[in-house]
Structure 1
Amino acid sequence: MILATVTDEVLPDRSEACFPHIFETALKQGVSTFEIRMVEAKRYPIVEADAWTRMRKFGDEYGITFTTVSPGLFKTGLSHDLMPIHRNQLASMSMDLAETIDIDVLVTFGVMREATDGPDSFAKVVEILHETAESAAARGFTVQLENFPGSWADTADNCLALLKAVDHPAFGYCWDVGNLYDADQEHFMEGYQKLKPFIRNVHLKDGQYIGNHMVWQHFGKGKTDIKGQIAALKADNYKGTLTVEAKCEPQMDEDFPTSLEYLRALL
């Protein structure tokens, strides 16, 4: 398994000087592979030009490999004003910029649910995601569906329904057990057995409900069963990416090394 992380999961720093510190901290923990989400203080791809230049410059200097981009695609509802922009511009822009640094993996969400959704909404979501997979494949990209509470891809069963309905070779699954637990407070194993043929990436975070609110914690302190997840992946000879999302609430400098120490003991 390949250890990876996300640009805003290593340190809370979002300043112009953040990337040397982020990359140094990650490398000390043996992590050199990154998913791009935040570039300093703004989310990809709507970033400051100078911030993008700094990320690329320090990435080269520290030997960082960027593999995936996460623009928050379709983290909006079907009837929202932003949906046409996500559908017609954001996906294309995200791939345009990713191509400049040889990234060919695009993370998407499953469209957020709205009170106005109706009987035909699922079919519309499938149409949007299939269209995205088709356009991505034509450019040599693959798309990874990330589950998220409140979206059409919130629980394991709903993710499975979307993955089967979209039914495209370029459309896979980013298994985020933390988000699954946030959605239904169920142990991961039953859902994992259904979803594992589609898994292309794994997002790791731990937490539990405290006062009716999901609180993210250091690995091994929450209820998402990081230990069980790693055991299941090892048993199935998973060779893909383990993307560490270690930030807690509030995010502190020690979050990343503390969770990595726990994770390495499992690997």
Structure 2
Amino acid sequence: MHSRRHFLQTTLGLAGAAALQSGPTLSLARPAPLATPRLAFSTLGCPKWSLDTILKTAADSGYDAVEIRGLEGELDLSKRPEFSSPAALSATLRRFRDRKLSVCDLGSSAQMHHADPAKRQKNLDEARRFIDMAQQLDCPFVRVFPDSLPKDQDREKTLGLISQGLLELGNHAKGSKVQVLLESHGELVTTNYLTRIMGQAEHPNVGLIWDIFNMWVEGREAPAAVHKTLKKYIRHVHVKDARVTGNTHQYVLLGQGDAPLQEAITALRNDGYTGFYSFEWEKMWHPEIAEPELAIPDYPKAIRKYFI
């Protein structure tokens, strides 16, 4: 199981943190108001909730979709009864539709950077299982990791392996409505790496998840510049906020932190992005942050101010 705990432990020097908060960004004109952004949340934020609680909260809070990244602590969805067979998947889809919701993304744990043949095969097989599940759930996206740049592995080889894995998975999804999306994550959160990977993985069933906060705080790139470089690949967006203090950052409710979300959202809207803005509240990795009963209903209200 992959852990994101190291994200909050990343060293940010005082000068670096100050640069993130006050450094130059690209100026963008505000677009016309949009009353109804498409909203989702990741189940990473509610690792103890049942599917019934997830569906009720999503419907009651004004969400359009749910991004399924595990259920009740189990990240391998094929081990959950709700996703374990074609009949179960059909019943689960009906439960979403009964609430006028959709599944916008299945978050796999598949890592694309491995060179070891056995590890590589295991990860690709997991991603293929998720692609097959997504087709049955009428879900457009499956998320995979680029993840790391192993020190004992040639860097160019690693980047090539990630691109090759995306192409293999894109071919598995060919002919379906499912796209395999690489998330900006781990050690690959800068445009120089991501453009090289995506440029070598051109495929109609391959795209990118832009995690706005990850690329800002880890990659130290202004959101408008990131968007300008990667916009042709962006299919889905992860949104979260945090306060940056000295050499740490702490996740907080949307709008209470330092993330330049307005800059990112304005860039997306100016370019005509109509995909989901998915709330990634990392409660599973960080149990100390606010409870999902507070954070998840708060997000639809908090994000709409960025669309006024």
What's the TM-score bracket when you normalise by the shorter of the two chains?
A: 0.7 to 0.9
User: Residues of 1 paired with 2:64 and 2:104: CA distance?
Assistant: 10
User: 1:69/1:159 Cα in 2 relative to 1: closer, same or farther (>3 Å)?
Assistant: same
Deviation at 1:242, TM superposition (A): 1.2
- Aligned to 2:105, the other structure's residue is in SS state strand
User: Residues of 2 paired with 1:55 and 1:76: CA distance?
Assistant: 32
User: Residues of 2 paired with 1:242 and 1:177: CA distance?
Assistant: 10
Aligned 8 A contact 2:42 2:278 in 1: yes
User: Residues of 2 paired with 1:141 and 1:185: CA distance?
Assistant: 31
* 1:203 matched residue in structure 2: 238
User: Residues of 2 paired with 1:20 and 1:211: CA distance?
Assistant: 41
* 2:42 matched residue in structure 1: 6
Q: CA RMSD in A?
A: 2.6
1:33 maps to which of 17, 42, 65: 65
Are 2:130 and 1:94 equivalent residues in the alignment? Answer: yes
- Aligned to 1:215, the other structure's residue is in SS state strand
TM-score relative to the length of structure 2: 0.75
User: 1:19/1:49 Cα in 2 relative to 1: closer, same or farther (>3 Å)?
Assistant: closer
**Aligned residue-pair number:** 260
* 2:252 matched residue in structure 1: 217
* 2:204 matched residue in structure 1: 169
Look up the equivalent residue of 1:240 and give its one-letter code: G
Deviation at 1:111, TM superposition (A): 4.2
Q: Which runs of 4+ in 1 moved over 4 A?
A: 50-58
Aligned 8 A contact 2:146 2:186 in 1: no
* 2:19 matched residue in structure 1: none
Aligned 8 A contact 1:144 1:172 in 2: yes
Aligned 8 A contact 2:144 2:180 in 1: yes
Greater relative contact order, per chain length (Cα 8 Å cut-off, separation 6+): 2
- Aligned to 2:218, the other structure's residue is in SS state helix
Ranges in structure 2 where 5+ consecutive residues have no aligned partner: 1-36
TM-score relative to the length of structure 1: 0.85
User: Residues of 2 paired with 1:99 and 1:170: CA distance?
Assistant: 13
* 2:298 matched residue in structure 1: 258
Write out per-residue CA displacement over residues 101-122 of structure 1, whole angstroms, 9 at most, x where no aligned residue. Answer: 2224221111422121114332
Identity of aligned residues (%): 20
* 1:147 matched residue in structure 2: 184
- Aligned to 1:254, the other structure's residue is in SS state helix
User: Residues of 1 paired with 2:136 and 2:43: CA distance?
Assistant: 18
* 1:190 matched residue in structure 2: 225
1:105 maps to which of 121, 125, 141: 141
- Aligned to 2:115, the other structure's residue is in SS state coil
